[in-house]
Structures are given as structure tokens and as C-alpha cells.
Chains A and B, each alone.
Chain A
Amino acid sequence: MTDTQWIQICQLEALPIDAGTAALLDEGKPTEEQIALFRITSTTQGESTIFAVSNFDPFSEANVISRGILCSIGDELAVASPIGKQHFCLNSGTCFEDEDVALKTYPSKIADGQVYVQSSELIQE
């Protein structure tokens, strides 16, 4: 994997803590997709982690996942759809209420205070 596969999205500090934000991946390209970024802070050290999943809610067919509430279910982090309240695992994308349904997930990282997400274009190749 080379550095070119990572798309810079925004500054980390621009993202609200423990909540979702929508972003556009590969804007203008055929692979353009809406994603939902979740910035999670560790409760003890204040360090941030980023999760990136598809913003498209497969149940309501609307782009609303970034506007869902962040949840912890046991040890897993999840987001609840603001429309149908189904829960999706932020790590795997799997829906807790229906195992056959999942959100697409995207590798993401933080470097030099910037948030990066891996582009679908290059992953598909």
C-alpha cells in the first residue's frame, strides 16, 4: 500500500467528538461515495480514533448514517440509524439486528492532525 491510496479528508479538530460527520470520498470521480466518519476519543487519554463507514442506510435508502447516535454495545462500538434505529458495528459494518445486512467500511487513519480514508478507486483496482 502506498501513500497515494490515502485521501486526505479534513483536519481532525474539525470533527466533533463521539459523534458522526459526513464526507465525500472521490468527489467528482465515478467512484464518488458518501461516507460517515466517527471520531472516538479514549475516555482516559483523550486520544482520537477514526471509523469510516458508508453514509447510506440500507434500510431507509437515505444518506443518514453520519447523523446517527454513537453507541457501545458490549465491547463493540456501533451507530444507530436515525431513521429505523438499527445498529451497525463501526468495525465490521454488520447490522446487529440483521446479520445479512452490513455497511461498507473504509480503512482510515490520523496523521499530522489530518484525517485520511482509503479511496475505493484504488482498492477496487
Chain B
Amino acid sequence: MSVKQKILVIGNGMVGHKFLEAMTTHSDADKFEIATFCEEPRAAYDRVHLTDYFSGHSAEDLSLVEPDFFAQHNIRILLNDKAVSIDRKAKTVTSENGETLSYDKLVLATGSYPFVPPIPGHKRDNCFVYRTIEDMEAIRASAQGSSVGVVIGGGLLGLEAAKALKDLGLTTHVVEFAPRLMAVQVDDGGGAMLRQKIEDLGVQVHTGKNTQNIEDGDQHFHKMTFADGDIIETDVLLFSAGIRPQDTLAREFGLELGERGGIVVNDHCQTSDPDIYAIGECALSGGRIYGLVAPGYRMAQVTADHISNTGDNTFTGADMSTKLKLMGVDVASIGDAHGNTPDAKVYTYVDGSTEVYKKIVVNSDNNRLLGAVLVGDATDYGNLLQIVLNDIPLPEFPDALILPQRDGSGITGLGVEALPDGAQICSCNDVSKGDLCQFISDGATTLGDLKACSKAGTSCGGCNVLVGQVLNAELEKMGLEVNTDLCEHFPYTRQDLYNLVRVEKIKSFFDLIEKHGSGRGCDICKPTVASILASCWNDYVLEPEHAGLQDTNDRYLGNMQKNGTYSIVPRIPGGEITPEKLIVLGEVAKKYKLYSKITGGQRIDLFGARLEQLPEIWRLLIDAGFETGHAYGKALRTVKSCVGTSWCRYGQDDSVALALEVENRYKGLRSPHKLKSAVSGCTRECAEAQSKDFGIIATENGWNLYVGGNGGMRPRHADLFATDLDKETLIKYIDRFLMFYVRTADRLQRTSTWMDNMEGGLDYLREVVIEDSLGICEQLEAEMVEVIGSYQCEWKTTIEDEEKLRMFQPFINSEKGDSNVVFVEERGQIRPATSDEKRQGIKVVSL
């Protein structure tokens, strides 16, 4: 066996970790022995979303490391250990803890450090920077008992930090030296609009302020004095005045640096020592430091390719365009945002009422786009960026690109079709238009599928709209008219039918197919319409006009099993049950010899009930106080819970009480597919709420709401939707969320796929549900109130109606039962006999 090449990485930040991932996916991965130093106490995490740490995300949520990554790939990680010296001759690195590791190739991924201006007093207590989880923890501790926070620096990171202080409940100020916010990315007009929007959110902005001194305050801990004589007092002070490359090691051990710092690298990311590479924010490539994560990821890949001799991948610069949401405000900057190119021309659009600012910079010939600034509405970002990157000719009147389309003509002159195949659509995951087209022609014809297999739009989500446009354009080009008709009987989608039923107040399948369909219906449209009718009007599902529409489970209010018998699941809200009721279930199971099993949803399932036994069994259950559990329906199933504060030493709130309330509120709600929920009393998450359609987790300050989770065949981690809600707001959001899902989902589409296919994704859903951007929330809530008010236990209604009970007779002309239903015994309970067992006349269980 040949000796493995030793790869040593200094720094396990986002870029350093990307490099490790790139090495492990390489086909010759076993030829390398890899180790990494990590100065921080934890392995790589998502620094871009650091602010989320204050809005409900834990350090684990932010982690970028796959479980068991280091063990699985045999990579040695030295946490809490800082590399302090490099011996380039011996090719070794020594750490603070005295470890000396040798290397064949060394990769410096040391990142950057926050620049703190040397203002007198900058080292006082309660002064912080904003880069690590430890910084976050220190800021949080300091914020307790404080009332005012100031951020010095009004750039991108400074505004993020301001949001964090605001989330911590502090009166927040932003102090910026330059005359406007985000001076690097936006122009004066954009900066002014941004300032207005941020002040609307309750953050006070001070621009053109040069801090001269920090000392003890009178009312608060610090007093800041500015050059113009103004004063602000604050308890917490946060510096966010830019970053500097962390190049100390390179400096001390003789690698070439730039004039103002940064480790000089070539197109393969090699430093002046060809066995040492530098990637990410510490590297100076083509005279520039790239302070964004996407270029850093590119460098990581280039380096991995170079070390493993794969292809001729080079890093020759990257686009620094950015789009982000700062405190809910969209801000984007593309290319030459300031119009610095000689003879550049500028077009601006300002909408004072909705506070939108858009600017494009074009060349002197008026036919090429050079840059753009967008504030308040960044939906054009994807399109404009592609036009710049691909040097696409502009339409005759370039202002059409930013003027609102009020005539309904839609496309702004240049669609995705104008893009070349090489156009990079998703910069986070490096997915080109050509890649997307390939996946589409290979069969990924829904947005959800396309995102799942290409990974496009799955990181920052900024390119989602564009990915959707590419998909639609490709499908159209392939002549693949996507037939969205529900079935041959209705030339409509489920959503269309839902709206028709609502608007025209249609109450039966017969009326709907008479007015809007043809034929007699089928096993697709009948249950779909039955579900829509139930979501809208919530009639008893076995009314004569509805009974024939129901899938067999709904028609007999039980879950049909392989031999034609049914299983029975009574509702056990929140999984809480008294011993008396537990005994009733045991007695019923014993009397009817039912196979008993505990479900995953904290309920009890009784199997093997014959059609004719269902009413008798339910009479016993209802007499004992049980209700139907809707396990047979595309409806709310169960709301799991942990024991919460009543018993648990860690509980933050009463999860059982809330689970009971939620389950009792939404029981009986029929929806496009089944709905599951759970409530956990603390972040230990024993109820597994993050794998549910909607999950709730108690925090110190209220309830966090998660949506779109799923277990089962295609697991999906739920998205954190809103944090620290009081109960009233929580219930309001769930009402709206569920009714919006009922209104807009496809047939048999779980909330997880519904979320994956939603254009605009989580942000869009938040706009609809929280900000009421469609103006429908009042309606959604009223619809939910109606469903809740018309709830009935379907089994109670059924056993009280002699007419209905006749349905459960096995034969219309005989009292006999089905002789083909045969059980054998296994582990002390029944199970259906197999065909072979029936033929062999094996000993059966007598019932």
C-alpha cells in the first residue's frame, strides 16, 4: 500500500469545512490522511445565519457538519486548538496545546477577524464583536438587564447585528461613519430608502457619525461622544466596522502578503509556498479579499481539485453581487452599483408609498447592463444578475427592466430563455441553467423534484423564482404541456375546484360535476371533491349524497386492512389517557379478539374488526367517552406531546395542555392529505415536533412554530416559521396556515411537498400568514372557525342512525359474515391467515 498524502487544514469554518467535504467526495479520497485544527470549541457552523441564534435556532441547528462526518471519513479534528507555528522546511504545524502535525499539503482557512476601530474605551466591558457563537452567548448575557444597544457600523453585518439586538428586546441604534447605510453596496438613494424602512421598524439610524470616545455613562453603562458633539448612552456596544483577513500565521512564517493584508494566492489558491494554500476570507486573489461565502466555497473546490489532480479548475475572481433580507427589508446590489464605469448611465425608479427603490446602471451605448441596486423589492435580482453576468443585450428601453408591469403583460422583455446554458442560477450550490435543463429532461418536472435533485435553491433560496422560471420555460419548450387537470372528469386543478365550491357554494358532487365536469367521476375526483366539500362545509361524510364519494376508509370510518377487515383508532388527544379508558380499550380488544398495537402517534390501534362489528365496538367506545380518531381520513390525526412542565424537570411550558387544546381545536378538519402535529415542552424536543406538518416547541419566551415537517418515506425537517409567540398568536397563525394549505395544496400533497413546491418558499408563506400580504387572513380564520363550530364525532352520529347502520351489514340479503376472513394466532394475538394457510386448512382462531 502506498503512503497516504497528509493534508492539514488550519481552520474549520464554513470554507475550511467545505474543503473537507470536497476532499471526501473525491474518488481517491482514501489516498489522503486529513486533519484539521479548529480554534473554536465546536466544528463548522453557519456564520451567515448567526443572527438566527437569537430567534430560536440552537448551535446544533446552525451546525454544518453531517452527523459522524469526522469519524466516517477518518478526519482528525483538534477542537479548541489554535495553530501557532509553521515549520515550512520540516513541513510541520505546531499548536497552542503542543501538538505537532506534519503535512504534505497545508491549507490555511483561517478566515477573518472583526475590525475594531481604536476609539478610546473600545476595550471596556460590555463591548462586543459579532462573529462566533461565543460572541452571541456573551451578547445575550450582557443584554439581560440592559435596555439600550448600539451597533457601530451600518454595513451588511452591522444591520444583521442590529436585528439581533432588537430580537433581544433592546432599544437599538445603528451608528455609521459614512453618510449612508451599506455604503459599499448601495447608493445614496437606496441608502435613504433603506434607512427609512429600518427606522420604520424601530431602529434608530445615525449616519455621518465619527465616534471619538467611549466612557462611563450617566443613565447607562457607556457614554459615546461623537465628533460633532452629540452623545448617545447605551448598555451594550457592538462593533461591526468591517473585517480583516486573519493572516497572522502567514505573516510570521514568511508567506507573501498584500499591502493591506491578505495571503496572496494564484489561480489554484496556492500561496508563495506551493505546498501551502489559502482559501476564503484570509486569501487575497487578484488583489481582492472575497468576504462572501460563495467565492470561498469556490476556492475550497479549486484547492481540493488541485491537490487531488482533478481537472483544471481555477479561481479567477467572483461576482460580489448580493441579495439579502435585513430585518425583513429586501436589499440587493449587483455589479457596478455606483455607476463608476466611465460614461455609465443610470435609470432610477422610486415608489414612495410602498418604499421601493430600484436603480440600474447601463453602459454608454445603452445596450448592456453594468449594475443595479434594489431596496424594498428584490424580486428582479435573479433576472438582472443573469443579464449582467451573461452580457445579454438590453431591450430598446432598458428602464422596462425596473418599471412595474401594470398592464399584466408579465415578462419584462428578457426572460430566462435569453440565458446561455452556462449561466449560474444557484451560486450557493453552483448549479447552471444547463444543469437544471438536464435534470428537467431527465424527469424532474416539478419544482420540488428539481430542487431536490439539483440542490438549486436549497441554501439561501435567493434563486427560487429563477429556478421556477427555468422549469416552466423548459417544460414549455419540450412541448410538455403539463396537464394539471384533476382527472378526465374535471378540466380543473384541485385548487380550481376548491375555489368553485367555495365561491358558488356548491354542496354536492352531483352539482359540481353537472356544472363543471363530465361523466360520473372516479376514484380520483370523488374522494378529492368529498374532501373539498368537507373542508368547506363539514357535512357528515356519510350523508347519502356524500357516502359513495368516500374512499373505503372514510366510507366505513375505519382503516381497511389487506383481508378486508378494519382497524380502529379512537382519539387519545395529546396521548394522554386515564387507566379507566385504557382498561376499556383492553376489554374491547379482548372481547372482539382484536390485534392491538401502539401507534407512532401515541394512540392505540385495534386490528381485525369485521365490517359488521364496527358499530358494536364503537358503541362501547363512545359509551366510555371515546371519540373517533379520524385515522381513516385525510384529516387531522394526532397531536403528540411530551409531559411538559407538569412532570419534566426541563419543561419550559405545559405541552400536554397545549397539545390537547390544539388537537381538540382541529379534530375533524379534512384536508388535501393527513395532518400530524406535536408539542414539545422544551428544545430537547421529545415529542419530535420538527417532523410534523406543524410542530410547536416551548421556549423561555413563548412558543416556536415549525411547519412543513415530515417523517415517513421522504423525511423533511420542519421550517422554523415564527418564534416566541403567545398562545393566541400561535393559534391564529396555525388557523391561517392550515386553511391556506387546504386552499392551495394539490390532492394528496403533504405540507412538506407543498412547501418544497411553493414559489417564494418560507418567506412567501410568512408574508401570507403573518403579514397578510394577500389580504385573506380574516377569511381564512373565519373559515376555520366554521369548521371548528361544525365538528361532530362521525361515529356517534353513525351509531345513532339505524339507516346508516345497515351499511355495515356484510350482505344485503343475509345475516352471515364473510367466510373468507380467517385469522391464525401469532405471539398471542390474531393475524390474517395467508392464502397458503387458508388452502392448507391450518388451525384458525375461532372468533
What residues of chain A have their CB less than 8 Å away from a CB belonging to chain B? 9-10, 14-19, 21-24, 27, 34, 37, 40, 43, 56, 60-64, 67-74, 77-78, 80, 82-83, 85, 87
Contact = CB atoms under 8 A, between A and B. Distances in A.
B810 A19 contact: no
Contact of A73 (B522, B526, B810): B522
Interface of B: 488-489, 514, 519-523, 526-527, 544, 547-549, 551-552, 555-556, 560, 562-564, 806-807, 810-814, 816, 818, 820-821, 835
Contact of B812 (A10, A62, A68): A10
Contacts of B820: 34, 56, 61-63
B527 A69 contact: yes
Contact of A10 (B527, B556, B813): B813
B812 to A, nearest CB: 5
A12 to B, nearest CB: 11
Contacts of B816: 24, 27
B811 A24 contact: yes
18 contacts: A16-B547, A16-B548, A17-B548, A24-B813, A24-B814, A43-B514, A60-B563, A61-B835, A62-B562, A62-B820, A63-B821, A67-B552, A69-B527, A69-B551, A72-B489, A72-B521, A82-B551, A83-B564
A67 B548 contact: no
B813 A27 contact: yes
- Top 3 nearest A-B pairs (CB, nearest first) are A82-B552, A19-B548, A71-B522
Given A24-B811, A37-B812, A69-B527, 16 more contacts: A16-B548, A18-B548, A22-B812, A23-B812, A23-B813, A56-B820, A60-B562, A61-B820, A62-B563, A63-B564, A64-B564, A68-B552, A69-B526, A70-B548, A82-B560, A83-B564
Nearest to B611: A67
Contacts of A21: 812
A70 B549 CA distance: 8
Contact of B818 (A15, A23, A63, A85): A63
Contacts of B564: 60, 62-64, 67, 83
Contacts of B806: 14
B812 A9 contact: yes
B153 to A, nearest CB: 62
Of the candidates A9, A24, A40, A77, the one having the most CB atoms from chain B within 10 angstroms of its own CB is A24
A27 to B, nearest CB: 5
Contacts of A73: 488, 522
A64 B552 contact: yes
A14 B812 contact: yes
A72 B812 contact: no
Contacts of B489: 72
Contacts of A68: 523, 552
Nearest to A10: B812
Contacts, number: 99
B541 to A, nearest CB: 13
Contacts of B560: 64, 67, 82-83
Interface SS, B side: loop
A13 to B, nearest CB: 12
Nearest to A65: B564
B632 to A, nearest CB: 12
A72 B520 contact: yes
Nearest to B527: A69
A72 B522 contact: yes
Nearest to B530: A69
Contacts of B835: 61
A80 B811 contact: no
Contacts of A60: 562-564
Nearest to B522: A71
A82 B521 CA distance: 16
Contacts of B810: 22
A80 B818 contact: no
Contacts of A70: 520-521, 548
Contacts of A16: 544, 547-548, 807
A79 to B, nearest CB: 9
A18 B520 contact: yes
A56 B563 CA distance: 11
B547 A72 contact: no
Contacts of B555: 67
A80 B547 CA distance: 15
Nearest to A19: B548
Contact of B562 (A56, A72, A83): A83
B609 to A, nearest CB: 14
Contacts of A15: 812
B523 A80 contact: yes
Contacts of A23: 811-814
B811 A69 contact: no
Nearest to B548: A19
B812 A69 contact: no
Contacts of A72: 489, 519-522
A72 B490 CA distance: 12
A34 B818 contact: yes
A77 B812 contact: no
Nearest to B818: A63
B565 to A, nearest CB: 9
Nearest to B525: A71
Contacts of A24: 811, 813-814, 816
A46 B179 CA distance: 80
A72 B526 CA distance: 11
Nearest to A73: B522
Interface centre among B523, B807, B821 (most CB of A within 10 A): B523
Contacts of B556: 67
B324 to A, nearest CB: 48
A76 to B, nearest CB: 10
Point out which of B814, B816, B821 has the most chain A C-beta atoms below 10 A from its C-beta: B814
Contacts of A67: 552, 555-556, 560, 564
A18 B530 CA distance: 15
B306 to A, nearest CB: 55
Contacts of A64: 552, 560, 564
A9 B814 CA distance: 10
Nearest to B509: A18
A40 B544 CA distance: 14
A72 B522 CA distance: 6
Nearest to A80: B523
Contacts of A80: 522-523
Given A80-B523, A83-B560, A27 B814 contact: yes
A52 to B, nearest CB: 12
A15 B811 CA distance: 11
A69 B489 CA distance: 15
A56 B523 CA distance: 19
Nearest to B832: A62
